[in-house]
Every structure is written in structure tokens, then in C-alpha cells.
Structure 1
Amino acid sequence: MGSIDFIKSIIEKITNNKELFSEEENIKIDLKTKSRIDYFDEIGAKLVQRKMNLLKDEKQQEFNVGIVSVDDRREISLLGHFLYTKFDKLDFIAILNKLNNNVSLRTNKNIDLSEIAKLNFNGGGHPSSAGCDLDIFMDKLNISFRKGREDVSVTVFAPFDCINNCEFCTSKKEYKKGLPNIENIKKSISMLNKKGFKSFVFTGGEPFADLEILKDLINLIDKDKIVYINTTLPKHKILDTINYINTENRIKGISLSRHDGVILDDLAEDYYLNDIKKDIRINSVLTNSTNITNIIERFSRFKNVLINFRADYRYMADSNLKILDGIGLDLFNNSCYKMIYSGGSDICQDFEFIRLTDGLKVRYHKGLESSSFEVGNTIIYYDLIIKPNGEVYYDWDDKDLGIKSLLR
């Protein structure tokens, strides 16, 4: 309502001994407060704790620092207050702002942040609230990166969400954060292509929701590089889609989502798989009601198809990642199948079986909802992710701590 009108209305209410806010206004305030707390909780879930040796009173001292990254300056002071209250054992909070290339330092401890910012980061401010340059802070943080595998791939979230709502989908939330930024996605693809990354995976959402935009994105990638596409293969323009898959040399294969019990009218019929000349992986997430026989019998009649059963990311942890259970254990105990491979990494594990009667291959994949882990100040990463906003992260939960140094 504007500050002047607001002040007038409050004075009028106080003067006449009225309630300051109506029931409707109180509801709006409650909703705003909940929205703010939800936002703060979301940021707090990504907080990273680090020990930093910094100058204080001209002497080196170790500090426990909580670090978070934000994309704007929304309510920095309130966010800082929320974080140092919630993480009260930390000495101070560092809020990294990528857009402004600066860091906001906040504390409720008896620490002079203005001195720390000046002595260590060429910054300044007040005892409980200071700031500095982002690059200087990151250099002092001394984070290093190491590839978890030689063929680190780039996963690109398609600009468009799919119309399906599978209960186990962990990507749906990405499209609720705001409108996708196609130009930023293009810039990030071009940058990572020039950096020498050789494998790109387009996921979603639905990459084939807009075939022309997908073509534009793939054309930014060198012709000698590899592209895979995770898709539901929608009916819309299915013949054009299949023709593009078959004729675009960069596309080496597709991962086709088909889950037992999930019947969606907008998906292309199975018989179209006969027309696809590239490798096809049937990607089927396991649920409590999954009938593996249904999936195997449904797709075993197609050539160049690998059936890939995937454990639900939501129930994976370090403790059960490399254990043969579920579908894998069922197949291992089945005299019709023989396990021919098992192996993986710190973030995923594959078990591959072959059906003895006809050589059909079936894979059981277990993976964490993570693409990196940390050892001391070293971040070991397996993939880079371009989210719908076009930003580059080294993990699915929007981790980007020090990513500028990784991409230099």
C-alpha cells in the first residue's frame, strides 16, 4: 500500500484503539512469514561447514564457518540471523552472492567481523556484519576439485517440464523454482563444451517437449562429442523425433522412462521402438508394486534394448548402496539369470545379469541422489549439472561452492 499510506493507517488505528491488522491482513502476514522460513530452511539445508585459519589481532586463529550460496540479496540480514541462530556452534556465517560477486559475513558471537574481513579479504563493515569480494574469499577457502572419473559428463536439464507427475520423480521440484532460462542454458553448454567435456546428457523435464529448441542446444556441442537423452518419448511429433534421433550423429542413445503401473496417455506406443536405430535403455524405477516380469516381457522383444531397473534415489544411502538386494537379489537367485558384472563408484553401483535362454541383458542400478563428495577441502565430482536456470552445479542439490575455480 506504500509506506506513507501504511503509516497513516496504523496511526489511525492506534488513535481509535482498533486492531492493527484485519483477519485477512494477518493471514497474508502468516503466509509471508511461512514463505520466508521455507526459503531460509531451503538455504540452510545446503549450508557447508568449513574450518578456516584466519588472521585476528594479527595472529592466526581457526574459525568454524558456515557457508551458503544465494542468487540474490533477498533479506540477507534476516537470513544471516536465521542461520547463526540455527547453527549456533559456528563462529560466523558467510553468505556467497554469485550475482554481485560478494560475500556477506554475519555473526552473533563476540567476534569483530570487520577486522576479519579487512585483515583477510580486503573487506570491511561492522563487528557483527561485514562483507568482502567473493573471489578473494574463495581463494582463502582453498577448495580444490578432483574428477571422480575420467569421463565426467554434463547433465543438462531440458528447458521444459514434462506433463507427468510420477511420485518418485526427484526432478519435478526443479521446475517449480522459476521459469527456465534458455539463454543461460545455451551459454553454459557452450562454455562447458569449450572446456573439453565430451559427454552430454539431456534430461528433464522432457527434452523432446520442443524439438527445435533441443536441436539448438545440441548444435552448440562439437560434432565429435557424445549426447544421450533421457526421455518419456511423448506422442507429439513422434515421427519427427525418431527421425532426429536416427540422423543426429551426436546422439548415441536414449534412456526411455517406462515404469510398471504408470500408464500415461501422452506417451508413444511401444511399437515405435522398432524404428529407433540407436541404443535404447528402458529406465524403470522400482516401487513396492513393481512387477519385474511385466517389464521384462514387455520390452525383451525389441532389439538393441537394455532393461535397466533403478532403485528409488529417495531410499538410497551409503549404507545400502553396494548391497545386492531387491530386484538384483531376485535375479541372482533365479536359475534363468547369471550375474555377469558388478561394480561402480562412491555414488552408484551396477549389477548386470544375462538371461541364459536368449542372452537378454538386465541391469539393476543403485545410485545416491548425489554426484559429488568431499574429502577435507577436496571436492570429488562425477558430473556437472546445468539446471533449468542455466547455472552450473557440481551436485544435484545446487552445490556450487568454489565452482568458479573449477571452471576457470
Structure 2
Amino acid sequence: MWFAQGAKVPLAAAGRVNALMSDSAASDDSDLRNMVHPGTTVAASSLAAAELTGASGGDILDAIVLGYEVAGRINTAVIPGLREKGYHGCIVATFGAAASAGRLLGLDSIKMTHALSLAASSVGGIMAAAKTSTSREYHAGLAVMLGMEAALAAGRGYLGEPTIFDAAEGFFHIYGEGPKAPQVQRMCADKSTWHILTNMAIKMVPGGHTLHAIAEAAVRAAREGDVSSGDVESITVSMPGVTKLIGPQYPEDLVGMIHSSAFFLSSAIVKKDFTWGQLSMSNLSDPSIRELLGKVQVGPPPRQDLERFCEGGIVSITVKSGRTYTSTVYAPSGYSLHGIDWADVERKYKSLLPLAGVSGERISSGWTLIRNFDTAPNASALTSLL
């Protein structure tokens, strides 16, 4: 287990605990189409399976990419049904864990089919619980455990139902918009339907990914007008399809903060920044931030350039003099289509690892290894530094 001084547990348990701990920082990645977080599951399952098999860094990266591809394509087939029906994205992320683990466990195509079929019969997760409790982290651990258990069972010869995805009352019917085998087959074959470079984003700050772009817009608008929090009359946010504030207007704890558009905007304006340390209890109780929470309101959704918005939004700050400062951010930083800078990833890594009690020397060694992970001899080269 990571951050546990070398403690060892069974394979699927290690993947589960590590995924839960990873997700607890609310700093994972997202498929921006419907906020599935595959990175946690594919990384946790791959590193755990690789410790068992002795796979190299290059093999681990292959397994991680496969997990993204499988999760991304299955996700395509359940958009928009999955989210509209209230299911959490961990349901899709489970398949990433199954595929990544299955790859490193040496499953052939037939056994991999059964691993994914078994995973389809095992999944679960409700969005409502993830927004208001630590069920979100539980979901991440559950997705890895179920995916890895499915891969292990298939590897031992356990058989699933190969037609479970496109059958009547099957997976796509329950979680998507109905059985649609021909369309799904086309989606799986057509690379234009999903691509890691056009749909994925890495979180560059913690919290709900839907809120990152509007926090960036708030920072830009506040800096442009050199806005003082005491001079703010109103804060208006506009996002495609959004007609009410996201999350609680007056959050009282960490779970509320990470899902609160009012907190993200108020904090961004007061600090004129949004960093890895922003989601803290001290900021939650900051009088300047608390004062602005009630001034946040939702404006009409944008009508122009809708194709450019990818979890983006428009923020307008009106000050008491009557002037308004507006900024538009179409997609959050870390969006793969816009490019991702290694310096930003390094900043993220070196901001989070100290919170787990990892020494500066190990953090530095780990970062060097990550930058060259394709040449790593095995998973333990990295996990031994955690």
C-alpha cells in the first residue's frame, strides 16, 4: 500500500486502498464529457498488478493506456444516459481497472472479454452520494477492486456473459439510452468518437473539475479590475446547460467546498488565484470569502460559441461603482487538447506528496523516475518511494 511504510495486502485490496487514497485528494483527471475519472483506477490497478507480475515501466504504461482506451470507448456508449440517470462515473472507470489489470496479468482476448463482461455485472455507484459525502472516494476504491477481481476471476477461467453490453436489458440499455449494438460497434471502431487527446483533462487544482474553468475566469476578471472583495456587488456565472448554482452556496466542510461553485468563485476573487492550498478549512472560514458567497448568482447560459465550451464558463464581477469585469474560459487548464506542461504536473506532484508525509528526497527521486517511467525496471522502483 502507498504511504504505509511498505505494508502488504492482497492484490485487489492494494488496488482498492491505493485508489481510495488517491481519490481522497480530489485531484485526479476527468473525461470532460461526463466527468468519469479513469486515471485513479487505471494507475492503481496497473501498479498493483505490476508489483505482482514484475512488469516493467513500459509494460505498465501500455496497460494504463489500454485502460483509458477501454473506459473511454465504453463511456462513449453511455453518454448522456449514465449521468442523466444519476449514476456515478466509477461505473465506467471499473472497466479501465479490469483492462489494465487484465493486460498485466496476461489475459488473452477471450479471457479479457470475460473480465469485462464480469465487470459489467459487478458495477455500482450513485452520483447523489458522491456529491455530499466521502462516497466518492469509496467509489474509486470499489471500481478498482471490482475491476481487478473480474480480471483475476477471468484469468482463472471464470466465464461471464459476452453479450452483456449490447443485449436487451444489458449494460448499454441500463446505463445508457438502450441497446444499440450497431452504433456501439461503430463507436468502438471509429477513433473520432473518443480520443485521450481531445476528451481528457488533468486537474491542475483540487476539487470538482466542473468548477475549475470558472475559477480561472474569476481569477482573470478579478486581476483585470484589481477587484477588492469589499467592493464586490455581485458575481455572475454562466455555463452551458447550467441554470442554478452547482453545489451548496454556503459549504460547511471539505466535501461541500470541493463541489461548490460559490466557494470556488468567491475564493478565487479574494485570493486572485486558485492553487493547491485553496481548499482548506481556514479559507472556508475566511470572512472575506464568506461575505462573497451570497453574492454569487447564475446568469443565462451562453448562446454563442457553444462548441468551444468544454466544462468552461463566463464570470462577471460587478463592483459597487457599477463597472463589470468579465472573463471567459472555455476549458480548464490541464485540458489535453490545449497541451499539458510538465512543469504544471511537477507542481501538482510536489504540492500533494508532502501531505502524505513523503520526504523531500523521495519526492525528488520519484519525480525523476516518473519523467522516465518507460525505462523503470518495475513498479516497485516507484512504489518503494511512496
- Shorter-chain TM-score range: under 0.3
Q: Which has the higher contact order (CA 8 A, sep 6+)?
A: 2
The higher radius of gyration belongs to 1
Decide which structure has greater strand share: 1
